[in-house]
Structure 1
């Protein structure tokens, strides 16, 4: 077969794709770049052409600034860690972050075990994912770990999902307050692969996702909060946690509680509360069905990842957060399809919750 190289237009797309992956925390290696170049050429040129492995080096030689961003960060050490010095604003922000997540009961100081050696495949701030053999360890170097409990909520959730659904998730081998070691699942994120999937593959993936969401919504709960008994978590300027809540009313009153600087507008916030769904089942909710958390291989979903804050939430919660996580990849072909993944739409709750979280 004839060997092919990217056109100028294709190269621009490839470089943009690499830049976005680096920005999102993915450790981009040459094999991943080669995979994407192959997919772009076969998508656009319509033939199973061979691609010279040297095409990656050729592309990088024309983009030296990009090469500098491909540097793999060093593995962290738990021994003699240098304390991070924060200025007053950073100290205040960290205090607000801890208060939002833990209230007046932050986790006690804890000593991490040694971090595993391996290949870093993801790194963003204090979060790492390291592959070693056929396993990955997801861990954080933050002193608060993955929460206030001895084992992460995500480890509990992954075991629960494997036992109660057919949704593909990694097997958990071990966990501690700051880490989870689980099965490595080969593939690419939907975010990485979406632009080079065929229309049939996209349709199949959406059908799979529709079925998985239906399975989650069939699991009914009685209280609102994380599966392991910790409070509910919602994103915002600072992620915040509250509850667990015995009723939907309690949860929604907490959700729209005015920020200290906005209490003079309390009647306005009350009006938001009255327009959120008053009667809504409590169902099991992933809470972050985003393109970066869906692993695909050969046009099929092979794993759904990142169940960190999953648990029992109002039925509209998954709808709200799936739209936030999927509508910014490809609006015409993906974003517009997201509501069809759900048996019932919650558009007003989406609008109101998106507004609440943008200023809270």
Structure 2
């Protein structure tokens, strides 16, 4: 599984319009999201651009792999490159015309939620067909991108790649200690992990499976949507997963644990449907929830 060459530009024949220039990207007022070192903007009718000093082009490589090796619906990637001074990374991708599942969820009835969940379960099943290039890693057998492993000290890498689940467990404990927490509690976690976090093989995971990262768009063969919303059935809409920056081969419990953690304030029934879409790992979630919240506090 060879990483894609950077810079990457799709064949001009496959572009819906001329690629946006750096000036057009910087001047766009169609701001879709902004977090530290990352901006996502719309440029015209066809493009969304994710750019910034903390954008990792690995996300674009991941989407290209999915597009070329699976039937998982993802935004098409049209370009990936760096600014001349190599300080800013750009991913130019397809603009998905639709709305997020988060914005639509409260409008859905039981049958609509069943239809969406059926599609998402099929997408997850297709994702799982991507075999790991070796252990727990991201595309190209590089480090995992989940921000659990992030550190501002480059001399203390915690993100792998990992040959075994035990290696990954040890890195999590090391990150816990590096964050300044009690070594006695770290020992407690280590004993627990040694017993509980074993035999979870590496599976390809989105690793940020939340409603905000699922777009719902009309299928190309569907009739025009109703003015007050979409005609919610599996025949005329499809889910498209976006925001692949954390994706990679994680232990099999990781996707579920992260998804339930993403329920946030538990203001709706999304957690029930996560149980229908993903294989539940309830005990593993309970322990990861405790540890993750400590690391994020």
Question: Which category describes the TM-score, using the shorter chain as reference length?
Answer: 0.7 to 0.9
1:340 corresponds, among 276, 279, 297, to 276
C-alpha displacement of 1:200: 2.1
- Aligned equivalent of 2:67, options 162, 166, 170: 162
What displacement does 1:278 show? 1.1
Which residue does the alignment assign to 1:192?
A: 103
Q: 2:167 aligns with which of 242, 246, 250?
A: 250
- Contact 1:327 1:335 (C-alpha < 8 Å) held by counterparts: no
Give the distance between the partners of 2:274 and 2:265, measured in 1 at CA. Answer: 11
Q: Is the 8 A contact 1:327 1:338 kept in 2?
A: no
Per the normalisation by structure 1, the TM-score is 0.61
Partner residue in 2 for 1:305? 242
Structure 1: 5+ residue runs without aligned partners? 1-112
CA separation of 1:251/1:120 partners in 2, compared to 1, >3 Å: closer, same or farther?
A: same
Query: Which residues in structure 2 correspond to 1:1-16 (within 5 Å)?
Result: none
Aligned residue in 1 for 2:201: 281
Deviation at 1:239, TM superposition (A): 3.6
2:186 and 2:263 mapped to 1: Cα distance?
32
Count matched residues.
238
For the 8 Å contact 1:281–1:315, the answer to whether it is kept is: yes
Give the whole-Å Cα distance in 2 for the aligned partners of 1:226 and 1:290: 20
Larger fraction in helix: 1
Q: Unaligned 5+ residue runs, structure 2? A: 1-21, 83-88, 152-157, 218-229
| Residues 288 and 192 (structure 1), Cα distance of their counterparts in 2 relative to 1, 3 Å cut | same
Displacement of 1:204 after TM fit?
0.7
Q: Distance in 2 between matches of 1:127 and 1:338?
A: 28
Q: Secondary structure at the match of 1:136?
A: strand
Q: 2:80 aligns with which of 161, 165, 175?
A: 175
Over the aligned positions, Cα root-mean-square deviation in angstroms equals 2.2
Q: Are residue 146 (structure 1) and residue 55 (structure 2) matched?
A: yes
Contact 1:256–1:356 (Cα < 8 Å) also in 2: no
1:132 and 2:68 are equivalent in the alignment: no
Aligned partner of 1:272 among 192, 202, 215: 192
- Tell whether 2:201 aligns with 1:292: no
Partners of 1:235 and 1:357 within 8 A in 2: no
> How far apart are the structure 2 equivalents of 1:359 and 1:115?
42
Q: Which has the larger radius of gyration?
A: 1
Displacement of 1:328 in angstroms is: 4.6
3-state DSSP of counterpart to 1:303: strand
How big is each residue's C-alpha offset from its partner over 1:261-314, in whole Å with a ceiling of 9 and x where there is no partner? 422434312222124331122111110011110001333334110001211111
- Give, in whole Å, the separation in 2 of the partners of 1:319 and 1:218: 17
Give how far 1:146 is off.
2.1
1:325 aligns with: 262
Aligned in 2, Cα 1:132/1:280: closer, same or farther, shift over 3 Å? same
